[in-house]
Amino acid sequence: MGDHTHRRRNAAIGIGLTVTIVAGVLAVRAVSAPDFGIESAPDAGHPRCAQVARSYPEKIAGSARAATDLPGVTVWGDADVVLRCGAPVPSATVDPCVNVDGVDWVVDESRSKDGHKVLITYGREPAVELTVTDAAAHEGAGLVDLSHAIEPIRQGSPCI
C-alpha cells in the first residue's frame, strides 16, 4: 500500500511539473512578438536598416504595424505586408521596374506567386524587400510611404 501511495505522489508531481512547464512556454510565447514564419534578411543588422525603420508608417493598406523581434523585419497586419531590410542587392534584371517617388522597385516575378507579390529596391545597399498579398497590393500597400522612408538609403544606379 505504501508503494501505491508513493507512485501516486510521483505521478502527481510529474503531472504538476509538466503543467508548469507547458504554462511557462505558453506564457513566453504570449509575451514574445511573433515571427510570422519569416526570417531576417542576410544584412538585417546594417545601420541603414535601423535608420530607415524609424520612418516606417504605422499603417499600410489599413493594417497596423505588428510587433516582431526579428532584426530588419517589419510586418503590417497578419503578414499582409512584410518588409525585410538588408536583402541581397539585385543584379541587372529583365523583371519589371517601377519608380515610386524616387525609389526604384523591381517586381521579382520568379517569387511573386501564391497570392503574393515580391518587390525589391534596385540600386540601393542594403536592399529592401517587400512582400505583399495581392489584396494589399491592389490597395497600393503604402508604397509611397515606404519609398519616402527608404529614400535615405542612397541609390547608386537606376533600373529605369
Query: C-alpha grid cell for residue 92?
Result: 541587372
Distance CA(134)–CA(102), nearest Å, equals: 23
pLDDT at position 2, please?
A: 61
Residue spans of the domains in the chain: they are: 1-32, 47-150
Average pLDDT, whole number, for the chain?
A: 82
Q: What are the CA-CA distances from residue 135 to residues 17, 60, 70, 131 (Å)?
A: 46, 12, 25, 12
pLDDT band at 142, cuts 50/70/90? confident
The whole-number average pLDDT for the span 10-17 is 51
pLDDT band at 29, cuts 50/70/90? very low
pTM, two decimal places = 0.75
pLDDT band at 146, cuts 50/70/90? very high
First to last CA, the chain: 85
Distance CA(79)–CA(74), nearest Å, equals: 9
Distance CA(102)–CA(83), nearest Å, equals: 18
Distance CA(7)–CA(14), nearest Å, equals: 10
pLDDT of 36 over the 90 cut: no
Distance CA(142)–CA(144), nearest Å, equals: 5
pLDDT of 20 over the 70 cut: no
Q: What is the pLDDT of residues 41-95, one digit of tens each?
A: 999 999 999 999 999 999 987 889 998 999 999 999 999 999 999 999 999 999 9
Q: What is the pLDDT of residues 84-131, one digit of tens each?
A: 999 999 999 999 999 999 999 999 999 999 999 999 999 999 999 999
